[in-house]
Amino acid sequence: MKLVFVSNYLNHHQMPLAQEFINIYGEDFTFIAMTPFNQARLNVGYRDLNSMPFVLRAYESPETLSQARRLINESECLIIGGMPVNIVSSRLELGKITFMQSERFFKGPFLKKDLGRFVKYCMYRGGRSAARSKSSKFYLLCSGAFTAWDYNLCGLFRNKAYRWGYFTELKQYDDIDNLISRKEPSSILWAGRFINWKHPELAIKLAKNLRDSNINFSLKIIGSGEMLDELSNMINALNLNDSVKILTRGGGVFLLKKSAERWRKLKYFYSRQTGARAGELLLTKP
């Protein structure tokens, strides 16, 4: 079976899964990158994963773009992520198996006021029809607990949504105690993009609470984005310059800020450590 994964570019979230596809399908798997790797991420030290040998860089020439279109239309199974759905219009009309990987779309209350814009942005007319049709072979891979719910609000992918995720590499250490002993004591690390729905300001608020509670700590913040000046001003205003730094290296404790997303009625996490069952049908009726 020929499997194709098409997205804007190959990122670190997709890399371990792509490697597994290579192990299973070999040359029958191709990742199609439609755009160059994000320059902002290259600037903060990311590796350009579009250089991997199994990546077809559709943006390089008319010939590679033509090859990409042929693979999109002819592959037995296709996964699309981070691209407009109309890129697969021909294969949807032919009824070929197609999966769309997506996080939840409504990441802020302001978006929930405009469901119509979501449908217009995310689905062209044929895509909406395929997503609503029970008989079409167009399915949703949910990278998040509320993805299916968001699409259901628009009448899309009802009972056609599957549990999915970001299948990150599992690193194992022979001596975890030795690893921890080499960390800077009482150090905290926050890493992510400086954008409002990542809420980097919460790490600074935590730092203030620790300082006010006379708890010894140091906080390092890694990232880039539109909130950089706001975060710097916040650190200055709260007099946290001695304990909070915006740097590019790590600490002893990694602070992961995540909204209270969880699969409804699900009591285990989806990771290789806990026996993930990616691909199970996710019932999506409210």
CATH topology of domain 3-168+263-282: Rossmann fold (3.40.50)
pLDDT the model gives residue 247: 74
pLDDT the model gives residue 260: 40
pLDDT the model gives residue 86: 79
Neighbouring CB atoms inside 10 A of 170's CB total 9
- For the chain, residues classed under CATH 3.40.50.2000 are 176-255
pLDDT the model gives residue 277: 40
pLDDT the model gives residue 153: 81
Q: What is the pTM of this model?
A: 0.71
Question: Averaged in consecutive runs of 10 residues, what is the pLDDT profile of the chain (286 residues)?
Answer: 94 90 95 90 81 96 96 95 81 91 74 54 60 85 89 87 84 83 85 84 94 93 87 94 77 50 34 36 36
pLDDT the model gives residue 27: 94
pLDDT tens sequence across 175-210 = 888 888 888 888 898 988 888 878 899 999 999 999
Residue type (1 letter), 90: S
- Reduce the secondary structure of the chain to three states and give it as a string: CCEEEEECCCCCCCHHHHHHHHHHHHHHEEEEECCCCCHHHHHCCCCCHHHCCCEEECCCCHHHHHHHHHHHHHCCEEEEECCCHHHHHHHHHCCCEEEEEECCCCCCCCHHHCHHHHHHHHCCHHHHHHHHCCCCCEEEEECCCCHHHHHHHCCCCCCCEEECCCCCCCCCCCCHHHHHHCCCCCEEEEECCCCHHHCCHHHHHHHHHHHHCCCCCEEEEECCCCCHHHHHHHHHHCCCCCCEEECCCCCCEEECCCCCCCCCCCCCCCCHHHCCCCCCEECCCC
pLDDT the model gives residue 138: 92
Architecture of domain 176-255: 3-Layer(aba) Sandwich (3.40)
pLDDT the model gives residue 284: 35
